[in-house]
Each structure stands twice: as structure tokens, then as C-alpha cells.
Amino acid sequence: MKKRMIWTNIILLLLLVMTIFFALTHGASKLNFNHLSSSSLNILFNIRLPRILSALVAGASLSASGAFFQAALRNPIAEPGIMGVSSAASLLSIVAGLVLPGLFFGKVVFALIGGLISFTLILLFQKKMDPYQLIIIGVALDAAFTGIQDLFSDNHFTGLNLATSTWESTLYLAVVGTIAIIFVICIMHWANYLKVDDAELSSLGVSAAKLRFTLLLVAVILASITTACIGVIAFIGIIIPQIGRLLLGHDYQKIVPFSLLSGAWFLLFVDTLGRTINPPNEISANVILAIIGGPFMILILLRRRHFA
């Protein structure tokens, strides 16, 4: 298993380097590093580089967030998009754009407040429901927050995605995301404790409620900041941790590092594929992830039913 983990990480690093190079040089305009004009430099440094960095940090953040959601709620299909966290963060980010136009920090703060509102609702319902009932509540919350967003459907604030990445949004995402990711690495072993029944943890002097609260709070912060900067990105928080479990087992000290690295690569790959498959037209990363993620969720549920 240790050799598999090492080889998996080596392959991911190679894929990451190759994808970054391809993403830098390909798109509506192909760039040659040997002959860079002023317009090529502008495309490279002001369009592609912030977009690539945003994809890397966002992919890592959302994948780690999904892994923590699944550990805390003991549910393989829990992730910030499905649980209503991303849509709540997006809604409050839109509100901030309306009441505090031009102040990006306000959008980040409001998005975090939105994520925390959804987080509070999840905690309230979590005490009374089993993991799959909680998913239904999460879907309902997501639908409610998304429905309210539709009131702003003609507003340009709803158009956030990786293509709208700027250096301002990228720097916010990179700084806050990196700090949160470091914290994720420091506490990832806590997720393993929640594989044990709450009563058994209590008998060992460990508070399952505090562990769950901390993991969910970190997951919500990661998802909210990402949503404020690049909009809602769904399914990656389900897909990546599940692949990690299939390849490396159920130890979160292996799943989380895998999720960080592969999530960064996968979102960059999907975004690069979407903008290079038929340039200058682009296919949103969300569209590609939905095509992959929907069937993937069904397979997870069918697999669990089979083993049950």
C-alpha cells in the first residue's frame, strides 16, 4: 500500500506539471515561450496564470472539503455543493456584490457568512437524522438557496467561474486557501476517529461532536472562500475522495493528501479541456463535472447497496 501511495503521488505530480504546461501554452491563442510578444505576455500573466492558480487551489480546497464532509457526516456522497454550503456562499456573495460593489473582500466575508449559515442548519438537522436523510435536507437547502439566486439571474454577479479569475480573486483564494489547507493537513488524522461509533469515542474520552464541528467548519471555510472567488463548482468533492478510497483505502491520512493533489490536477485538467477542445468556444468546468459527477454518484450508491 505504501508503494502504491508513492507511485500514485509521483504519477499525479507528473500529470500536474504536464497539465500546467499545456494550460499555459494552449487555448484560443497558442503561445510559444521562445517568441512571446507583448500581447502573448498579457495573455500569459493576466489571463492564463491566475486562472491556472485558481483552478489548482480551488480543486485542492474542494476535494479536501468533500473528504472532511464525508468523514464528519459518515456519508460517501456528502460534499459542499450537495449540502447547500456552496449555494449559500454564492447567494451571500451576490448580495455583497450588490450592496458593496467593487469591494472584493466584502464578497469573501459575505460568502463565508453564507457558508456558516448553511453549516449551522446542517448541525441542527444532523442531530435528528440519519446520514441519508441529512443528504435530502442538504439537497433541499441547495435548491432553496439556488432558487433565491435565480432572482438575480440577470445580474452579472452570478457569472463567476474560472474564466473570470483575476489576480485579486486569485490572491485571496491562494492566501486563505493555503492557510486552510495547511490546517487541513494538521488535523486530517482526526477524520479517522469518526470511523468509530460516537459512544465508543466518548468512552475513550474523545468528543465526537467537537471533532465533527471542527472538520465541518474547516470544510465550510474552504468551500465558501472558493465559491466567493470562482463560483460554485460541484461534484469534485465527491469524485476525488472516493477515488482516493478505491486506490488507497480508508485512512484519511492517505485520502486527504491524495485529494489535495489529485483535486488540484483534476479541476485544472477539466477546465483546460473545456477551453481547448473547441477554441475559442469554451465548455464550463461545471458542465463537464456534472456529466461525470452525476453517474459517479449513482455508481457510489449502487455499490454501497450491493455491499450492504
The CATH number given to whatever domain includes residue 289 is 1.10.3470.10
3-31 per-position pLDDT tens digit: 888 899 899 999 999 999 999 999 888 88
Contacts of 34 (CB under 8 A, 6+ apart): none
Mean pLDDT to the nearest integer, 260-281: 94
Residue with the larger pLDDT of the pair 99 and 191: 191
| Residue at 28 is within a domain | no
Contact 28, 192 (CB under 8 A): no
SS3 278: strand
- The answer on pLDDT for 64 being more than 90 is yes
| Residue at 5 is within a domain | no
| Residue at 130 is within a domain | yes
| Residue at 194 is within a domain | yes
SS3 281: strand
Phi, psi of 160 (to 5 degrees): -70, 135
| Residue at 1 is within a domain | no
pLDDT of residue 1: 67
- The parent domain of residue 96 ranges over 59-307
| Residue at 4 is within a domain | no
Average confidence score pLDDT of the chain: 89
Contact 216, 72 (CB under 8 A): yes
- Provide the whole-model pTM: 0.92
| C-alpha cell read off for 299 | 455508481
